[in-house]
Amino acid sequence: MRGIILAGGTATRLLPLTATTSKQLLPIYDRQMIFYPLNVLVKAGIKDILIIISPEHSGHFLNLLGSIFDKNDIRLEFKVQKAPRGLADAFIVGENFIGHDNVTMILGDNIFEDDFSEDIKRFKSGGKIFAVKVSDPERLGVVQFDENMKAVKIVEKPKEWLSDYAIPGLYIYDNQVIKAAKLVAPSARGEIEIVDINNWYLAKGELEVGMVKGKWLDAGTFDSLLEAGVFVKESKLYEKFDPIINQAIMEFNEELKILARKKL
């Protein structure tokens, strides 16, 4: 299993904050946002992780993450995506990185309370996505279930109500996803949509949909960014991070303090 984190884009909803750095490098309580999706992958035992970033912020990511996991046998790679072409484009951009393995992709601004380690570790083939009940399904991709809670339809931002279950930004696929991404035609907005990947697996009878039980936040607005920080503090989510990440952050902080003292 390999991991991909999408951390590109312009994040115009968070201007002027994102005029100086990437959205995924903004703080969620005591650490940058990027550590939350990293934690999902590292807790699941994934050692090879590709982070897809925009060119204007590539140096910022390298300054923070370039060598932070060197002692822990976790290998981070970075790929610059000059222009966003849709979520599914990640599997084309990352084709050589994925190779013949399966892949878990997570969006860099998604904060989950749940631990998905067992879902990722037990995954064998096909595709697995997740559903979470929301109050505003019309602004998201949604999944419709039958009376047995089996997924029957997936639609991106439906104009008419289909379901209250949205699809958050965590996706697990087998190696067929590269082929599926290449078959997807760009949508009306010129992007390769992840909903088409999910429907490709659904049509083959190879898509499983799990349920998100805990808190889920898409930290892409001022309100959700603030809500995420408050939630992390009050729930002490930072205490549930993989020890590898907490140790790496602590060592990184100490190195910075030593360098600062030398400059005095």
Q: Write phi, then psi, for 246 (nearest 5 degrees).
A: -60, -40
Say which DSSP state 243 is in.
H
Measured in whole angstroms, the distance separating CA 88 from the mean position of its chain's CA atoms is: 12
Give the helix/strand (H/E) hosting 128.
Answer: strand 127-133
What pLDDT sits at residue 160? 86
* pLDDT value of residue 221: 92
Give pLDDT, residue 139: 83
Positions in the chain short of pLDDT 70: none
The tens digit of pLDDT for each residue in 209-227 reads 999 999 999 998 999 999 9
For the chain, give every domain's residue range: 2-125+169-263
Could you tell me which CATH class the domain 2-125+169-263 is placed in? alpha beta
What is d(CA 12, CA 153) in angstroms, rounded to the nearest whole number?
31
Asked whether 11 and 25 are in contact (CB, 8 A), the reply is no
Tens of pLDDT, residue by residue over 70-112, are 889 899 999 998 887 889 999 999 999 999 999 999 999 999 9
Q: What is the pLDDT of residue 159?
A: 85
The candidate with the shortest Cα–Cα distance to 131, out of 214, 212, 217, 198, is 212
* pTM of the complete model: 0.94
